[in-house]
């Protein structure tokens, strides 16, 4: 239990602020943005040596923005709550997103010196909404992993228990929020990388529908699966951030023009009458009994709040991990072909021919897991194997999507565990990539189907480790997912208060 003390000391150091309370404190003059940013940098200096969530700090940019916001606050321009919804809110960015003035390594040696000359659309939107961007967050190399142990810059430690992984690939983003080193952060989710670390670190992590949020400026892993989304302390903060991030972008042809509802307002609607699906396939073998109990308790709480519970079937679930690891690696092998030592980052110096330079750069620059995936992906796309693996996986992807479309004809949202276990120990799965892949069982299907979802804290193990509940929703129905998550959050808080 000694390890858990670190959490309380962190929490005491800097009590969690929400977007609303931060914005209010600044607009009302209770604190200056500059002083608030300083206090977050002080927390980072004190706590991050233990956690290692941050790869780079962008103090100059943060200070310039803080002064701009402080000037607006002084002149009363922030009095209207609709102006700059994120005015002064300190936010961190996963290192796979481009942010002008900071490196973007994607957790890889091959991009060690890469400094993008522009902002990703999501980063630009946060800045335009008044956010103070603190810096860049550690992650698995090219977002490939479930534990953050594949980062070329070293692992992140879970703030709730320092000998445990924070989850991955957005481990730094989840840990930074959990340790109060940021009010919110951006992560990315290709097969669970927002929801699973959120679950392991006891914070909220939102997976928007494919196309809801622009991917421009995201270093691509698997383009048909990648999403950008927020980590926050509360469901309301996730709703506010989605409102800022969502919408069409001329720089991303896959971004959708669908209207962006007022997500924060949608939380006010009661969940009474909503139909919640419970899929048998997500409660089978391999599910930790404490996780099962916490999610079942969550189902009971939703019933008590007036929802109706319904058994649903997602019969192709057992093929999901295999399908995901064929398609994600195929896309990765293609996306990562651009890192060749010519245009960005690392270049091997000792090569006498162009092809030797390519080979040596890629050999020196990529880590073991990334190489494994490039090999797998190249194999499944190669002539002779394409039909057996890649095409077959595409067909199964359609079946997995149909499973959800069918289920959503009679339920409004689906409740599952986010991950089969609470956070595991650092080093526990590093020698067994298959065991690591299999732990993605509950998250990869939503990416394959293109639907939205969220992980929200719903309990704790006996050891005090956080447990997350996952709520999955229809394409572009984040409003319902957020509403249900809000009810889960309230039930969990009430439960904690009673203890
Ligand atoms: N754990 C999954 C993988 O390693 C998902 C990663 C992600 O969502 N970026 O591919």
Calpha distance 182→186 (Å, rounded): 10
For 120, list phi and psi in degrees, rounded to 5: -60, 155
Residue 16 has pLDDT above 70, yes or no: yes
| 161 secondary structure, DSSP code | B
pLDDT of residue 374: 98
Q: 70 C-alpha vs ligand 1 centroid, how far in Å?
A: 39
Calpha distance 171→196 (Å, rounded): 9
pLDDT of residue 1: 33
pLDDT of residue 385: 96
Calpha distance 205→496 (Å, rounded): 20
Q: 168 C-alpha vs ligand 1 centroid, how far in Å?
A: 7
Calpha distance 94→126 (Å, rounded): 13
Question: Among 496, 497, 498, 489, which Cα is nearest to 298's?
Answer: 489
**Pairing verdict, β 308-312 and 90-94:** unpaired
Residue 108 has pLDDT above 50, yes or no: yes
Residue 167 has pLDDT above 70, yes or no: yes
Q: Which domains does the chain have, with CATH numbers?
A: 9-314+402-498 (3.90.1300.10), 315-401 (no CATH)
Calpha distance 463→443 (Å, rounded): 24
Residue 9 has pLDDT above 70, yes or no: no
Residue 202 near residue 178, CB atoms below 8 Å = yes
**Catalytic residue selected from 32, 108, 147, 169:** 169
Enumerate residues lining ligand 1, CB below 6 A: 143-146, 169, 189-193, 221, 328, 440
Geometric angle at alpha carbon 453, from 450 and 457, rounded to 5°: 160
For 414, list phi and psi in degrees, rounded to 5: -125, 135
Neighbours of 147 (CB within 10 A): 30
Q: 330 C-alpha vs ligand 1 centroid, how far in Å?
A: 14
Choice among 157-166, 247-256, 337-346, 400-409 with the minimum mean pLDDT? 337-346
141-157 pLDDT, tens per residue? 999 999 999 999 999 99
Q: What is the mean pLDDT of the chain?
A: 95
pLDDT band at 343 (very low <50, low <70, confident <90, very high): confident
Calpha distance 10→310 (Å, rounded): 40
Question: Among 101, 103, 174, 184, which Cα is nearest to 140's?
Answer: 174
Calpha distance 117→101 (Å, rounded): 7
Residue 175 near residue 207, CB atoms below 8 Å = no
Residue 210 has pLDDT above 80, yes or no: yes
Q: Which two tokens stand for residue 307?
A: 């929802």
Q: Please, which residues have CB within 8 angstroms of residue 130's CB and are 6 or more apart in sequence?
A: 23, 65, 69, 84, 85, 86, 87, 88, 89
Residue 209 near residue 475, CB atoms below 8 Å = yes
Residue 113 near residue 346, CB atoms below 8 Å = yes
pLDDT band at 225 (very low <50, low <70, confident <90, very high): very high
User: Average pLDDT for residues 437-462, to the nearest whole number?
Assistant: 97
| Whether 109 is catalytic | no
Q: 195 C-alpha vs ligand 1 centroid, how far in Å?
A: 10
pLDDT band at 7 (very low <50, low <70, confident <90, very high): very low
Residue 462 has pLDDT above 70, yes or no: yes
Q: How far is CA 429 from CA 414, 434, 437, in A?
A: 29, 9, 10
pLDDT band at 15 (very low <50, low <70, confident <90, very high): low
Residue 199 near residue 418, CB atoms below 8 Å = yes
Report cis status (omega within 30 of 0) of the bond before 243.
Answer: no
Q: Which two tokens stand for residue 340?
A: 């060749």
pLDDT of residue 11: 40
- The side-by-side arrangement of strands in the sheet containing 132-137 is 54-57, 132-137, 90-94, 184-188, 228-232, 204-207, 452-460, 466-473, 413-417, 275-279, 308-312
CA 242 to chain centre: 13
| Ligand 1 pocket: which of 139, 144, 199 to mutate (most atoms within 8 A of CB) | 144
The string of DSSP letters for 58-74 reads -HHHHHHHHHHHHHHHH
**Catalytic residue selected from 58, 170, 193, 255:** 193
| 142 secondary structure, DSSP code | G
Residue % of the chain over a pLDDT of 90 = 93
Residue 166 near residue 175, CB atoms below 8 Å = yes
286-339 pLDDT, tens per residue? 999 999 999 999 999 999 999 999 999 999 999 999 999 999 999 999 999 999
pLDDT of residue 3: 37
H-helix or E-strand spanning residue 185: strand 184-188
Residue 207 near residue 189, CB atoms below 8 Å = yes
Q: Which two tokens stand for residue 146?
A: 């479930």
| Whether 94 is catalytic | yes
229 bridge partner residues: 187
């Amino acid at each position: 239990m000694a390890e858990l003390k670190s959490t309380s000391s962190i929490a005491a150091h800097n009590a969690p602020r929400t977007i609303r309370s931060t914005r209010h404190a600044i607009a009302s003059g209770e604190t200056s943005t500059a002083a608030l940013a300083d206090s977050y940098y002080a927390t980072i200096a004190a706590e991050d040596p233990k956690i290692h969530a941050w790869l780079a700090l962008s103090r100059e940019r943060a200070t310039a923005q803080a002064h701009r916001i402080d000037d607006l606050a002084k002149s009363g321009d922030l009095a209207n709550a609709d102006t700059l919804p994120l005015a002064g809110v300190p936010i961190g960015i996963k290192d796979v997103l481009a942010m002008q003035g900071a490196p973007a390594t994607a957790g890889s040696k091959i991009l060690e010196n890469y400094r993008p000359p522009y902002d990703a659309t999501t980063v630009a939107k946060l800045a335009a909404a008044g956010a103070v961007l603190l810096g860049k967050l550690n992650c698995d190399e090219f977002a490939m992993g479930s534990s953050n142990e594949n980062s070329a810059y070293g692992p992140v430690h879970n703030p709730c228990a320092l000998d445990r992984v924070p989850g991955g690939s957005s481990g730094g983003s989840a840990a930074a929020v959990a340790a109060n080193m940021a009010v919110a952060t951006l992560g990315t989710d290709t097969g669970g990388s927002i929801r699973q670390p959120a679950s392991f670190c006891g914070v909220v992590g939102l997976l928007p529908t494919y196309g809801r949020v622009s991917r421009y400026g995201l270093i691509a892993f698997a383009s048909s699966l990648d999403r950008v989304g927020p980590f926050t302390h509360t469901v309301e903060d996730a709703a506010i951030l989605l409102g800022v991030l969502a919408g069409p972008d001329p720089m991303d042809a896959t971004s959708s023009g669908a209207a962006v509802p007022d997500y924060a307002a949608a939380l006010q609607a009661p969940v009474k009458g909503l139909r919640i699906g419970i899929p048998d396939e997500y409660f089978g073998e391999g599910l930790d009994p404490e996780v099962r109990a916490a999610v079942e308790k969550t189902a009971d709480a939703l019933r008590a709040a007036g929802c109706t519970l319904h058994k649903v079937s997602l019969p192709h679930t057992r093929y999901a991990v295999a399908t995901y690891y064929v398609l994600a690696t195929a896309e990765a092998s293609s996306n990562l072909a651009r890192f060749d030592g010519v245009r960005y980052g690392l270049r091997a110096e000792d090569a006498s021919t162009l092809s030797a330079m390519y080979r040596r750069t890629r050999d020196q620059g990529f880590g073991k897991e990334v190489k494994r995936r490039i090999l797998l992906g190249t194999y499944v796309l190669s002539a002779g194997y394409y039909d057996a693996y890649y095409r077959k996986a595409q067909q199964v992807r359609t079946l997995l999507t149909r499973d959800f479309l069918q289920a959503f004809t009679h339920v409004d949202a689906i409740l599952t565990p986010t991950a089969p276990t609470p956070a595991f120990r650092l080093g526990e799965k590093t020698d067994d990539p298959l065991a690591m892949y299999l732990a993605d069982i509950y998250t990869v299907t939503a990416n394959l189907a293109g639907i939205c979802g969220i992980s929200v804290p719903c309990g704790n193990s006996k050891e005090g480790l956080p447990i997350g509940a996952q709520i999955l929703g229809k394409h572009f129905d984040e409003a319902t997912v957020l509403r249900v998550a809000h009810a889960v959050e309230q039930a969990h808080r009430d439960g904690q208060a009673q203890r």
